[in-house]
Structure 1
Amino acid sequence: MAAEVEDVLGGTYFPIEGWRSYSSAFVEAEGKVIATGMGWIWELGATFEEALELAICANRPLVCLHSDPGLEPWPPAPSR
């Protein structure tokens, strides 16, 4: 799965967790944390600390970085 993420986003990713909701979390060599599952890739934080804060506090919106062909980004980007 890390190789698939690297193909889409670039960088080098390492698995850190598998969730029961059919998604997994990865940390990039530079510190960025993402989650992937069911055709989407989400940014959890630019650092591990930011990702942990999001997981505990849910203090900001989840950002969809990529969706597979045929899937709309989820959650949708906020309207401007």
Structure 2
Amino acid sequence: MSKQETKKRQRQRTPNNRTTTGFRISDELWALLEPLLPVYVNTHRFGGGRPRRADRTCADCCLSNKTDLAHFEGRLRS
């Protein structure tokens, strides 16, 4: 098998949008939320299954979606 040559980029990559991809809850808020979460116990009989996402990543996503929804609802009412 021969390797295919890759073309050099013609244009620069666009940077990631920090508004939509960079949301993180503050460390202070996470310090309050983390003790409230239950301890995860793997109940799969062989110890397998899909790898679990980090709790903080899930919290970031939930709160990001909540703030986006609140912004969207505010625009609908005005």
Q: TM-score, normalised by structure 2?
A: 0.21
Q: Which has the higher contact order (CA 8 A, sep 6+)?
A: 2
Structure in which a larger fraction of residues adopt helix: 2
Greater Rg, structure 1 or structure 2? Answer: 2
Structure in which a larger fraction of residues adopt strand: 1
